[in-house]
Structures are given as C-alpha cells and as structure tokens.
Amino acid sequence: MVGAVDKHFALIGFMGAGKTTLGRELARLTQRPFVDTDEEIEKRFGPIGELFERGEPEFRRIEEQLVAEALAGPTSVIALGGGAVLSEATRKRLRRTAFVAWVPVDVDAAWSRVRDSGRPLARDREQFGHLFDVRADFYDLLAQGTGQDTDGLLLESLHVIFSSEIACDAAVIADERVASLHELPVTDSVTLVTHVVPAGEQAKTPAVVERLWSELDVGRDGWIIGFGGGSTTDVAGFTAATYLRGLRWVAVPTTLVGMVDAAIGGKTGINTEQGKNLAGAFHFPWEIRLDPRFLVTLPAEERRAGMAEVVKTGLLAGEPLWELPEDEMIRACAAFKSAVVISDPYEREGRRAILNLGHTFGHALEAASGYELRHGDAVALGLLAALRLSGRATDVVEEVLAPRPVRVDRDRAWEALLRDKKGRLRLVLLGDDGGYVTEVPEADVRQALDELIAD
C-alpha cells in the first residue's frame, strides 16, 4: 500500500533530530497513538544511561524487543532511537510494516542539542561525529521519505511531490483543454500515450470509462497518469482501479481544487444518473505530483472555485490558510488533507467525514443544476449553510468567496440532499476543535438549503 496508508508512521534519525517532538505532533494530526521507543525503554527498564553501563549489546537487545512490540501493535506514529536501525531484524520489520521517514539533522546542530543531555553516546565530539557518519548510511538505505517539519512529513507519507516530471512510460488520461495548453515534462526516453477526456464532470461517465478501457494498451506493470482537474484525476484513478484489476497511477492535478483536495486521498469515482460519485473505488495514487505552474492558465472562475476548498480546509484546521502565498497555501492544504486521510484512509473511523464540510449542500445544488454549477461554487454556498447551522460567522466565506444564491429547483435539490444522506440528516458542522458530525433537525436543514437558492 502507498506510503503510510495502513502502515505505521516510523521516524528514524540521529539523536537531537527532533523525532519525539515531530512524532507527537504527527500523532495528534493523524489521530494515531504515539510511541517513543526510548521513553518506553525507560518506563520498563530504567534510565538508558544505566542500561548502557551494563553494556550496549544488552541495551540493543531490549531496544529491538520494544521496537518489535510497537510494530506488532496498533497502527501508530513511532519515534525510534537513533541506533535502532543498526538491528537487521528491526530493519526487516520496518520494511514490512511501516512507512519509514528520516528526520535529518546537521551534525553540529545535533551536538549542540544533546552534548549536555547526559546521553551515553554524546560525551565525545569526535566519537559523536563518527557515529553520525556511520548511522547516516543506514538512515539513507532505509528511508522511504525525509522531512524536518510535520507538513513535509505528511506530504511524504502519501507521496505528494512538488514536481510534475514523469520518469516512466505511461498512458496519460488528460483533460482535453489541459492537453491543448500544457505538456507533461519527462525524463529521457520516456514515452507517453495520451487519451483525452472531456473537461469537468462530463468526463466522469460510464461511457467515457468504457471508451478508455477499449483504448488502453498497457500491461499489468503499466502506469496510468491523470492529468487535469479533479474530475480528470477521478476518472483516471477509477480507470486505473478497474483496468486489469488495478494498475499503478499518478495524479498530476492542474487546478487549485485538485491540488489542495480532489487528487489527494485515494477516492476515485464517476457519476451515474442517480447521483455523483456513486460508482467508485479507493485506489491510492502511487504519487501525487503538484506543479503550481499549471495554474497560470487557470480561468479566474476556476481559481475562485478552488479557493472554496482552501477556505474549507482553513476552517477545519483553524488557520487562515487562504491568506498564505500560493505555494505555501497549497502545501499547507495538501498536508492537512494528507493528515486526515492517514487517520481514516477508507472512511471507516469517521474522521475523514469532516472533509465534507459544506459538501452535502454543495452536492445537492450540483445535482439540482444538472452539474452545470461548478463544484467549488457549490461548496462555497454549502459552507455558508454549514456555518449558519454551526452558529458561526460567515464573514470569511462571504469575503473570500462571495457566493451568490443560485437558481435551481428547490424540490430537486432537497431530493438530492436526502439521497446523498440516505435519509439520515447527519451533517458536518464546525466547532471549536474543528469539524464534527451531528444529526440536524430536518426543518433546519431545509431552511438552510432554501437560503442558498434564488427565487
């Protein structure tokens, strides 16, 4: 499975790298248990310095045992001691059960942080430097990602990369307009075969997928690339999930919606006559490649639609992410989405539902418009309704997104909302600690929906 999905999130690195601090924050963001193996050793066997006095081999035996127990336990964020990777048995267990992220640190910075800590291996600067060099080789060999802050580590955990360069032969499923404006950069000798699909929701139909199945000429070891907005990556991912019982795929979103939300998370799907995304699969992309340069040609109305997902994410995170410079904004939103996905990859635990803030109303309005209303514009209106039902101010949505009521059939919108919620009016609202799911009286929901529809 890709990255940290269904696997432990294991942090390795030299002493003084900050693995414990980062690990605690990652555990909070992903709502996973946190295990610090050094702390566990001290709880059960006493101070590490005293264990070293009895001999390093005995300490390493205990460490190997504690790491094995942690890796056999519930899926967690685990911070390992600097020398844990010296054990071949531990390395094998990590490769099998964990996404391993290296937290690098400069040797001088590490020395300044730990030289007065009393650590048994931080008493002599020359020996410290030698140890640093030896262990760096092990970290480099084992690491599947690297990072020095939580956002960077979260992005690494789902293979979110800020580059669009393609390094393998692949079938490209591309939005027809995007294909006319941009080319994917490739490394030497890479061959890409492009299959165009209609722009927007018109790509997400059974007929388009059936055509792609008939056109594709790739083997079981082949790759598919989704190149376009959220609708394009949706249909590309669904095609990859269903062709030859599943191919590896790469998402290269070219819209703001795609970069901050739609392409991240492994949910793929197409629409049916009965509703949006009713045929789909969880099929995580092998990589998600983000390149803000593609946004240069994005129409203003599409950028505004993308900002709806940015505002949604900022509201859930409790941070004004919409105020950041574009590259930083995209990075922060993608990292938050990654954290929520890692906490609940298949929507089994409930937390991932918070990402639907505003979407229940948005989907209803989209359906009632025959999908002529842009997804982001519908979500902007949905955020107004969700905030009103939460008893929260709507200033940010009104100032940043400026949504206006839309002309759609009220009864059709209400029927679509009930179908989306399968009769139970459990909605995502916003509280002091972020999003939460609660049941809302039917009359309140109907009124909130009516306020989004123009007379």
Q: For position 1, what pLDDT does the model report?
A: 64
**Alpha-carbon Rg for the chain in angstroms:** 24
Phi, psi of 71 (to 5 degrees): -75, -20
Any catalytic annotation for residue 352?
Answer: yes
Q: Where are the domains of the chain?
A: 8-157, 170-298, 343-450
Any catalytic annotation for residue 130?
Answer: no
Asked if the domains at 8-157 and 343-450 fall in one CATH topology, the answer is: no
Least confident of 176-180, 227-231, 270-274, 442-446: 270-274
pLDDT tens column, 1-40:
678 999 999 999 999 999 999 999 999 999 999 999 999 9
Q: For position 324, what pLDDT does the model report?
A: 98
Stretch 423-444: mean pLDDT, rounded? 91
Catalytic residue among 32, 135, 363, 388: 363
Q: With beta carbons less than 8 A apart as the criterion, state whether 211 and 198 touch.
A: no
Any catalytic annotation for residue 337?
Answer: yes
How far is residue 446 from each of residues 83, 385, 430, 452, measured CA to CA in Å?
A: 60, 10, 18, 10
Q: Tokens 């890709």 identify what position?
A: 2
Cα–Cα distance measured from residue 311 to residue 383, given in angstroms and rounded to the nearest whole number: 9
Stretch 89-106: mean pLDDT, rounded? 97
Catalytic residue among 88, 96, 245, 273: 245
Domain boundaries 343-450, corresponding CATH code: 1.20.1090.10
Catalytic residue among 289, 356, 374, 388: 356
Q: Which residues have CB under 8 Å from 15's CB, separation 6+?
A: 81, 82, 110, 114, 119, 121, 122
> 106-115 long-range contacts, Cβ below 8 Å, gap at least 24?
107/14, 107/132, 109/16, 110/14, 110/15, 110/16, 110/17, 111/16, 112/16, 113/16, 114/15, 114/16
pLDDT tens column, 300-346:
989 998 999 999 999 999 999 999 999 999 999 999 999 999 999 99
Assigned fold of 8-157: Rossmann fold (3.40.50)
Burial status of residue 419 (CB atoms within 10 A of its CB: 0-12, 13-18, 19 or more): middle
Q: Tokens 């963001």 identify what position?
A: 29
When the candidates are 3.40.225.10, 3.40.50.300, 3.40.50.1970, 2.40.30.10, the CATH number that belongs to 170-298 is 3.40.50.1970
Strands 34-36 and 77-79: parallel
Strands (E), 141-274: 145-146, 160-161, 170-175, 192-197, 223-228, 248-253, 267-272
Any catalytic annotation for residue 25?
Answer: no
pLDDT band at 423 (very low <50, low <70, confident <90, very high): low
Any catalytic annotation for residue 356?
Answer: yes
Catalytic residue among 69, 183, 301, 349: 349
